[in-house]
Structure 1
Amino acid sequence: MTSKLVLNAVGGDLEETITLVGEAEISAGAGEVVVNVEAAPINGADPLFAMGWFGVYPEVPADMGAEGVGRVVEVGPGVDPALVGRRVVMLPTFRFGTWATRTVVPVSNVVPVPEEADPLQLAMLAVNPATAYVLLHEYVDLQPGDWVGLNLANSAVAHYLIPLARRAGVRTLAVVRREEVIDEVRRLGADVVLVDGDDLAERMATTLDGARLRVLYEGTGDPAQVARLVTAVEDGGTVVAFSSVTGQAPVIPLPDLIYRGISLRSVYIVGWLRSASPKQLEQMYGELAGLITEGVIGAEVAATYPLEEHVDALRHAQQTERNGKVLFVPAQAA
């Protein structure tokens, strides 16, 4: 018997719309694999998906969970049998669920990963580390010594972007909204950490001492903060939106947009993964998995829960000042 968490209605209270169900043993079809799930995180996109506010609209009943790690136990026709027994990460599509004891996944949506890495860290590999990697590599040709700006600097994406930038010799100006998280962001390796405020533009100018940001990674959707931050971006520079905690679209002030040529772009990792080649996926996830194994990148884990305690897990994951990720794991491992 397979257990999984299923969304039964779009919108409403997640504690009521998401339920634990059991089903008969599942099997792999052509081009598919069956994965025993070892761990699967709760991401910010998951409740958005359940509410119908995400880039993929749920077709209820919808299996929940976008990413995770597990071990292949069965392959379908057309799939290399050597995958059986391999540990793999599952890439997000929101069309198969990972909040489950076992799931069926298209083989194109799994990537083998090292055995020696922490499975909890691997479970979080597919979304936030990949987003950080794409932000650093796909928009601006960054060189050692360049400055980048990042707000929402204690976010899950920032926990990967800052150490990846430092490893590449790229300097990071990080902006946070609360003084309590300054030390946390400094430990990640940010070169400068500033708290947002009305005088942020002046403090950035003093700190950078004539240097300019090649690119700004924007995660708040706060027009006032974006307006302050963009003053530090070089003429012809780029702002890349990766999130919006306010639910608003980022806005570049007209003088910066027209007279200074600042461009606004965005990243949607599910869409990027759809268009990436197998070679790109293998290269990116191979590099990231290696860095997790070495302890170069990782994320704090707040708690783990079995599927049977999904109500408590969902409540915990939605706490606004929570430190670390909440993950589902098999009952014996929780």
Structure 2
Amino acid sequence: MSRLVLTAVGGDLQDTVTLAENPDLHLAPGDVLVEVDAAPVNNADLLFTMGWFSAQPRLPQPLGAEGVGRVIQAGEDVDQTLLGRRVIILPTFVQGTWTDHVVVPASTVVPLSVTNQADALQLAMLPVNPATAYALLHDYATLRPGDWIGLNLANSAVGNYVIALAKRAGIRTLAVVRRESAAEQVRALGADAVVVDGADLGERISAALGGERLRLALEGTTDPAQTAALVQSLEDGGTVVTFAAATGQAPSVPVGDLIYRGIVLRAFFILNWIRDTPRKELEIVYTELADLVEQGVLTAPVEATYPLEDHRAALAHAAKAERSGKILFVPRDRS
């Protein structure tokens, strides 16, 4: 039984991440032992290793935030019907999912429908990005079929899921991307209007909307010019939600829009959402999302899978600036 462990913060991952044996799989009464089928490498995982995330590593730190697997042992206080069940592992940045087996509190797993036969790779990516997209569409505005929302970083994993969920609900999407190849990608996903960043972005967004207004703006770049361009077409009193910070800048709304038009700036963070959402609601949301994965409504491209033993190649691949899909760790017989 092996797992990937961080031994130092801020260094080269080729040196600071090691494959370690994991002999301590003792279960407390409220724990479950999960045999992991797949676990993705997210940007948040890489930021975590650098000490640039909300949670801080406690060395030696097991790595990996989310994943999917089966419960093979349950503590005495846990519902024993979980045994043999397929579960998704919610992100905590404590236990680590880049492993073949992991002990976690039963409260940090969500059992899937016994009939769900969705691909493990897609289910492994469910806890963070699809849930983020779901919350962005449900928690900040009352959206109805025919409404417009705008989003930048639209070709990101979150953006892809937002477009898919919005399309299913009849909500129209105005997507902003940085290059034409990304525009082709989001058009294929079903975005209703796509605009490539550049000069006169605000005017081109307005033209694409045909005089209609956005009900909600989802901001992932924190590029002030892109935010201002989206806000230009946002309805008075509308909300901008920051869900990522690709440029590393602080999110902002033009002061005139903030004061005179009542535009609201908010932010979303998945760990806070999981912490604050009642357990029953979490189960409902994740069950619905897992069913949509099984139906093929929600899917994300996978570029490569690696066994734990090939972690150096996997992490180098995941760190590449431009990829066509996710990198995941899987058991050697699946890689």
The normalised TM-score by structure 2 is: 0.98
Query: 1:111-168 deviations in whole A, cap 9, x for unaligned?
Result: 1124411111000000000000000000111111110001001001011110100111
Look up the equivalent residue of 2:269 and give its one-letter code. Answer: Y
Q: Which residue of 2 aligns with 1:258?
A: 259
**What is the root-mean-square deviation of aligned Cα atoms in Å?**
0.9
What stretches of structure 2 of length at least 5 have no aligned partner?
A: none
8 A contact 1:27–1:74 mirrored in 2? no
Compare 222-231 and 305-314 and name the one that shifted more.
222-231
What stretches of structure 1 of length at least 5 have no aligned partner?
A: none
Compare 144-153 and 222-231 and name the one that shifted more.
222-231
What aligned pairs does 1:129-278 form with structure 2 within 5 A after superposition?
A: 129-278=130-279
CA distance in 2, matches of 1:23, 1:172: 46
The count of residues paired between Structure 1 and Structure 2 equals 333
TM superposition shift of 1:20: 0.6
Q: Which residue of 2 aligns with 1:63?
A: 62
Q: Which residue of 1 aligns with 2:46?
A: 47
Q: Which residue of 2 aligns with 1:105?
A: 104
Query: 1:171-225 deviations in whole A, cap 9, x for unaligned?
Result: 0000000111212101111000110112111111112122111111000011122
SS at match of 2:122: helix
The normalised TM-score by structure 1 is: 0.98
TM superposition shift of 1:80: 0.9
Query: 1:286-307 deviations in whole A, cap 9, x for unaligned?
Result: 1100100100111011000000
TM superposition shift of 1:11: 0.9
8 A contact 1:252–1:264 mirrored in 2? yes
8 A contact 2:186–2:194 mirrored in 1? yes
CA distance in 1, matches of 2:154, 2:93: 26
TM superposition shift of 1:27: 2.7
CA distance in 2, matches of 1:301, 1:137: 27
CA distance in 1, matches of 2:209, 2:118: 38
Look up the equivalent residue of 1:235 and give its one-letter code. Answer: D
Q: Which residue of 2 aligns with 1:128?
A: 129
8 A contact 2:205–2:229 mirrored in 1? no
Look up the equivalent residue of 2:107 and give its one-letter code. Answer: S
Percent identity of the aligned residues? 59
Query: 1:262-295 deviations in whole A, cap 9, x for unaligned?
Result: 1100100011101111111111001100100100
